[in-house]
Amino acid sequence: MTSVLTAPLVLSDRVVADPPVVLAPMAGITNNAFRRLCREAMSTQLLPGQRGGLFVSEMITSRALVERNPKTLQLIRFAPDESPRSLQLYGVDPAVVGAAVRMIVDEDLADHVDLNFGCPVPKVTRKGGGAALPWRHQLFESIVRSAVREARGAVPVTVKMRVGIDADHLTYREAGLRAQDAGAAHVALHGRTALEYYGGQADWSRIADLVDALDIPVLGNGDIWEGDDALRMVRETGCAGVVVGRGCLGRPWLFADLAAAFNGTGVQVRPNLGEVAAMMHRHAELLGEWLGEQRGVIEFRKHVAWYLKGFGAGGAVRRELAQSSSLAELDDLLGRLDADEPFPSVVLGQPRGRTTAGHGVSLPDGWLATRESCEVPVGAETENSGG
């Protein structure tokens, strides 16, 4: 394996992705603990002088941040050694998004702000947010401009989006150009529409098209399951880096493989079940440090099936692991696993997490009737909307 891309992604003096790999923000997943696991895994394969990738927080609602919602303030807590600190914002009102960015800058809450225009979840799109918003291109541009203006050059602002709402309502090219004109430092494109959700195959040709259209860096997202997939995406699209989401679910060590792939060393991490069990314990332990032991172990439960995907662990142990509520109980159950069982090659290159297509996109009434309106949908900016 040889490196196809060695240039780091440089957004500012403080915000550099080297190698150019980004952990995608995932609600309920990319919290303090999971980001730390992924960062630690990548660090094992970095070359001297490399800083590592960007590891982005889960989606933070702008209104909730401005209103200092206690849960939101906990979600934006970064570990002392996290650098750079990347925070993703969701919002539909340019004024509220701007206020959130101003707060981030004034209180030094993050080094980098990413704007969410890619979420396909109905509770977000039905309010005009996420993947629905770029259709209203003037509103979209107003939000990006507001964020960039309030960042005042102190933190780079980036945009993550999808190809469009559906095949008849594509938005990525115009949105990319408007984001560039508004001052975005880079654009990340997931090669699916909101309607496609997480089903089928991502269309990387749209990423290549956007690379050709923009002068700022374009990052590619969608169907990166292994390190080789990242190299192939760069070769096929010319993108400046990759954004990785579902491929690392239950596999934080994927970031070691990604660093090795970009650096051309050919290292591939294939942990046996004992090593996976140790990673599971550490994940739950880190969640416990963040949330308290019981809440941390309960939060960890969702990860059990992803970690054990393809292994021969019995159904009874899997069920008990998914019901555990203390580290002692978790460790007892992990001790019942066959530590010597090799990593199952059958799962390599296979989708993880959600793999279904949507059943229609929930949108505000009349949303598709016009692209020119800058009106913020009623109820779109409540304190607890979004993530």
Pair 222, 300 in one domain? no
Pair 307, 213 in one domain? no
Mean pLDDT of 347-370: 91
CATH number at residue 248: 3.20.20.70
Domain boundary among 269, 295, 325: 269
- The gap between the terminal CA atoms of the chain, to the nearest Å, is 39
Q: Predicted confidence band at 386 (pLDDT cuts at 50, 70, 90)?
A: very low
Pair 301, 194 in one domain? no
Domain boundary among 214, 247, 269: 269
Pair 194, 207 in one domain? yes
Half-sphere exposure of 280 (CA within 13 A, CB side): 35
Residue 296 lies in a domain: yes
For the chain, the helix, strand and coil percentages under 3-state DSSP, each to the nearest 5? 40, 10, 45
Token code pair at residue 4: 């196809």
- Pick from 91, 29, 15, 37: nearest CA to 57: 29
Pair 97, 206 in one domain? yes
Q: Predicted confidence band at 236 (pLDDT cuts at 50, 70, 90)?
A: very high
Instruction: Write out the residue range of the structural domain in which residue 313 sits.
Output: 273-342
Residue 79 lies in a domain: yes
Q: What is the CA radius of gyration of the chain?
A: 20
Strand partners, 115: 89, 159
Annotated catalytic sites, by residue? 119
pLDDT for the residue numbered 382: 56
Pair 105, 254 in one domain? yes
Number of structural domains (the chain) is 2
Give, in order, the Cα–Cα distances in Å from 52 to each of 78, 109, 292, 333: 16, 20, 29, 34
pLDDT for the residue numbered 314: 87
For residue range 238-269, list pLDDT tens digits in order.
999 999 999 999 999 999 999 999 999 989 99
pLDDT for the residue numbered 380: 79
Residues 6+ apart with CB under 8 A from 66: 96, 99, 100, 103
CATH number at residue 297: 1.10.1200
For residue range 67-117, list pLDDT tens digits in order.
999 999 999 999 999 999 999 999 999 999 999 999 999 999 999 999 999
Pair 328, 190 in one domain? no
CA distance 113 to 68: 17
